[in-house]
A and B are shown apart, each in its own frame.
Chain A
Amino acid sequence: AQSVAQPEDQVNVAEGNPLTVKCTYSVSGNPYLFWYVQYPNRGLQFLLKYITGDNLVKGSYGFEAEFNKSQTSFHLKKPSALVSDSALYFCAVRDFGTGRRALTFGSGTRLQVQP
């Protein structure tokens, strides 16, 4: 079975500071990992994904994520946070070995960027 853990319900960071939103995963086969962001009263917007290759993945809005196989982690990062980055962030995994198309999502982390 595949699962995702986002250990922090909320992350607070000052504008201009670097931010990290944590994600760990568990799969039986090869993981395919995604980050999505959700603004209030909106659907999920795709930020980035890791399939294979370079462990550092760059995505939309200046976000990046680092895949670490030994730690089974896929933390989301940004060098300099903006107030407009405040939103709900979801990590998701798909276990390619199962043949299932479904994504398993974490419970979400609320990012609050203070001016």
Chain B
Amino acid sequence: ETGVTQTPRHLVMGMTNKKSLKCEQHLGHNAMYWYKQSAKKPLELMFVYSLEERVENNSVPSRFSPECPNSSHLFLHLHTLQPEDSALYLCASSQDSGGAIDTQYFGPGTRLTVL
């Protein structure tokens, strides 16, 4: 496997629930990413963290709130989601060398279903 783990692997939640997705990378990288993969749509970048600072935020609704407490961990806090938010949420990490091309390595994803 790639050294990026995600928990839980599956999550079912109601629209009024609050839950969190967790990602952990064991590769010594300093950049982490959240992507959303919906059926029949390309992967959508949600957030990018480099050295624990958010460096990109792609117009994601505020019901998704990321947190990066250190370079190995990334969370996605969820609240008052909509059924259309049901998707596979993928975490990735890379070594950001300030311009050098860094390959992103992905975790297995969390399959989220919003009822």
Check B56–A101 contact: CB distance below 8 A: yes
Chain B interface, number of residues (Cβ within 8 angstroms): 30
Which residues on the A side are within 8 Å of B31 (C-beta)?
101
Check B106–A36 contact: CB distance below 8 A: yes
Check A44–B106 contact: CB distance below 8 A: yes
Check B42–A105 contact: CB distance below 8 A: yes
Q: For chain B, residues 71 to 115, give those with C-beta under 8 angstroms from any C-beta of chain A.
A: 90, 92, 94, 96, 99, 101-109, 111
Check B56–A32 contact: CB distance below 8 A: no
A-B contact count (CB 8 A): 61
In Å, the complex CA distance between A21 and B84 comes to 30
Report the interface size class on chain A. 20 to 34
Is B48 on the interface with A (CB-CB < 8 A)?
A: yes
Which residues on the A side are within 8 Å of B2 (C-beta)?
43, 45-46
Check B43–A90 contact: CB distance below 8 A: yes
In Å, the complex CA distance between A34 and B109 comes to 20
Could you list 26 A-B pairs, sorted by A, with CB under 8 Å?
Answer: A34-B103, A36-B106, A41-B108, A41-B111, A43-B4, A43-B106, A43-B108, A43-B109, A44-B43, A44-B106, A45-B2, A46-B103, A46-B105, A46-B106, A49-B101, A49-B103, A51-B101, A90-B43, A94-B101, A100-B56, A101-B102, A102-B56, A102-B58, A103-B45, A107-B40, A108-B42
Footprint of B on A, CB under 8 Å?
A: 4, 32, 34, 36, 41-46, 49, 51, 90, 94, 96, 100-108
